[in-house]
Every structure is written in C-alpha cells, then in structure tokens.
Amino acid sequence: MTSSIAVVADADTVVGFRLGGIKQGYVVETTEEAEEALTKLIKENTSIIIITEKIGDELREVIEKFTKSSALPIIIEIPDKYGSAERTADPMMELIKRVIGVEMVK
Amino acid sequence: MAQEMIEGINPTRMELLKLKDREKLAVKGYSLLKEKRNALIMEFFNILERVKGSRQIVEENLQEAFDDLTEAQIIMGDLAVNKASLSVKESIEMDIDSRSIMGVVVPVVEYSSPQRSMVDRGYGFVDTSVKLDEAAKKFEESLSLIIELGEIEKTIILLAAEIESTKRRVNALENIIIPRLENTVKHIEMRLEEMERENFVRLKVIKKAMERE
C-alpha cells in the first residue's frame, strides 16, 4: 500500500512541516481553499492528512464524513503557531463521553 | 405492561413453531452481540489508556517547534526560511497496515523517523541559521508523535462508531424484539389451549345429546 502524508494549513505551519520533511504542503487561506485541498487529497488516497484545528473546526462536517466510515485517511488536527484554540468542546472528549456515558480521561 | 405483539399472525401450531425458532435465534443473537459489545468496550478502554496525555505532549512539542521556527524567521527572514524549507528532502518512511478489532478495521501505522543530521536535510549552510536546524529537528520529532496520535484517535473514532451501533442493536433486541416474540408465543399458546377446551366441551355436549336419543 502506498502511503503518503500531506499538510493543509496556514503558511507558517506548512513551512514548519516542510522542514520536518513533508513534501506535500498546501498553504490555504480561506475555508473554500481548505475544503478544495482536502477533497483533492482524499480523492488521491492520501493516507495521513495534517490540518490545523482552525480548519478542522470550520470543516467539521466534511471531515466527519470521511473519518467516520473508513480506516483511511487519517485526519489529524493540530494547533497552529498561536497555540491550541480555547475550544468549547474537544471533539474527542465529546465522543468518549457519548460512548461511555461518563467523562473518563483527564 | 403493554403486551406488545407482532401483528397479523394466525394462532396456529405452524406459526407457533416458526415463532419459537425466531425467538431462539433472537436470544442467541442477543447474547452474541452483548459479548461483542463488552469486548469492544474493553478494547476501547485499553486505547483510552494510550491516548491519555499524548495530545498534550504533541501540543507542547509543536509549540516548541513553532517557537524555534519563529526565531529562525526573525534571524534569516521569511523568504530565506521558505527557500530552505522547499529544499528539504522527504523524511517519511511509513507503512500503513490494518488490523481488525472485532470486525472493525483500524489502521496501524508503522513509522520510522530516521535521525537525520543537518547534512541529510538538504538545505545549504551558508545562509541558514542554527535555529533553523533546531526547528527542523523539533518538527521531525513532533511529526512522529503526531502520526502516532493520529493512529490512536482514528482507532477511537472507528471503535466508538461500532460500539454505538452495537449498543443500539443490543438494546433493540433486549427491549423490543425479544419481549414482542415472547408475548406473541404466549398469546398463541393460550389461544390454542382455549380452542382445545372448546373442542372438549363441544364433544361432551354432542355425546350427551346422542345418549338422550
């Protein structure tokens, strides 16, 4: 299985990960651009896609559509250089809470 | 309790046998699904142990990496950093496999991050700063952490979806389908017994009538 990894993020994050050794970096400014890049990458069967939390929050529905059903792609949300956004709800914790019924971790 | 039943079933022996078979199957399926649910939840807890805190580690690591990157940008200028970053060679060596947890296919990422020296990265040394090397190193480190975290989070998402649907099915069987089948079976049995008693009485009456003649 060919495995590829890509970054869809703001300019600085992409530069950072290029230094870290990811060749496929897509600099996006607007939500539309991000969605376009994401759909394109998914169509190309990219295995791992790294996005920023900001994009993740904006494109929540698009991402859930792809992450819920199949094993790949793995979409990972990371904070950008301004640090982790103060989120009202961490999607991971929400999920765990819903499944188990009580808050477990942390 | 409302005696819910399956609609449109004739109280015959044939139907009774069929229903009893269905009930047996439902009970069997119920116990199997229940076991599946328990196994999934156990697996889920195992993975929760692994995810604990690993997000924080990733975030701290990234923060450091971004700090170094910003410093490099201050020293060298945005453009030079961009230029250097474009000439960095690909570092990822990974293999994605999948394994199955109770029928849920989850990805397993095998990732090796080679410890690269500055020379391997591929940018020139003349116009780059030490900070750039440090930033690159930090990003490589956080990259492997991120990939690991991604694998775990993906597994959690997939497992959670499966647990939810299994839970729903277990509940549907336990609370709706099995009681309904039981009630219908009981109803048919009662009807059949009632018919037998009716027949018995009818025969007696006929017998008496014949004796009188």
- Beta carbons of B72 and A81 less than 8 angstroms apart: no
- Contact call for B65 and A21, based on CB within 8 A: no
User: Helix B13-51 and helix B178-212: axis angle, to 10°?
Assistant: 170
Q: How confident is the model at residue A102 (pLDDT cuts 50, 70, 90)?
A: low
Test mutation, B37, B38, B62, chain A, max A CBs within 10 A: B62
| Element of type H or E holding B16 | helix B13-51
Measure the N-to-C terminal CA separation of chain A; round to a whole number of Å. 36
Q: Strands, DSSP E only, in B87-175?
A: 93-101, 104-112
* pLDDT at position B207: 94
pLDDT digits over B17-68, tens only?
999 999 999 999 999 999 988 888 888 888 888 777 787 788 888 888 888 8
pLDDT digits over B105-162, tens only?
877 877 776 666 666 666 766 677 777 777 777 888 888 888 888 888 888 888 888 8
B97 to chain A: closest CA residue:
A1
| CA-based nearest distance B181→chain A, Å | 29
Pairing verdict, β A74-78 and A24-27: unpaired
The three-state DSSP-derived secondary structure of chain A is CCCCEEEEECHHHHHHHHHHCCCEEEECCCHHHHHHHHHHHHHCCCCEEEEEHHHHHHCHHHHHHHHHHCCCCEEEEECECCECCCCCCCHHHHHHHHHHCCCCCC
Mean pLDDT of A48-70: 76
pLDDT digits over B57-111, tens only?
888 888 888 888 888 888 877 777 777 777 777 766 777 778 887 778 877 877 7
pTM beyond 0.90, yes or no: no
| CA-based nearest distance A63→chain B, Å | 12
Distances (CA, A) of B196 to B12, B15, B18, B191, B200: 12, 17, 20, 9, 6
Compare CB distances from B44 to A15, A71, A99 and report the shortest one's residue. Answer: A99
Test mutation, B93, B101, B139, B171, chain A, max A CBs within 10 A: B139
* pLDDT at position A35: 80
* pLDDT at position B190: 92
- Beta carbons of A103 and A95 less than 8 angstroms apart: no
B149 to chain A: closest CA residue:
A76
Give me B168's structure tokens. Answer: 């729903």
Q: How confident is the model at residue A89 (pLDDT cuts 50, 70, 90)?
A: low
Of A103, A83, A68, A75, the residue nearest B150 (C-alpha) = A75
Q: Strands, DSSP E only, in chain B?
A: 93-101, 104-112
Q: Is the pLDDT of residue B189 over 60?
A: yes
- Contact call for B91 and A84, based on CB within 8 A: no
Q: How far apart are CA B77 and CA B87, in angstroms?
A: 16
Q: How many residues does chain A have?
A: 106
Amino acid symbol at B30: Y
Range B14-207 has CATH code 2.40.50.100:
no
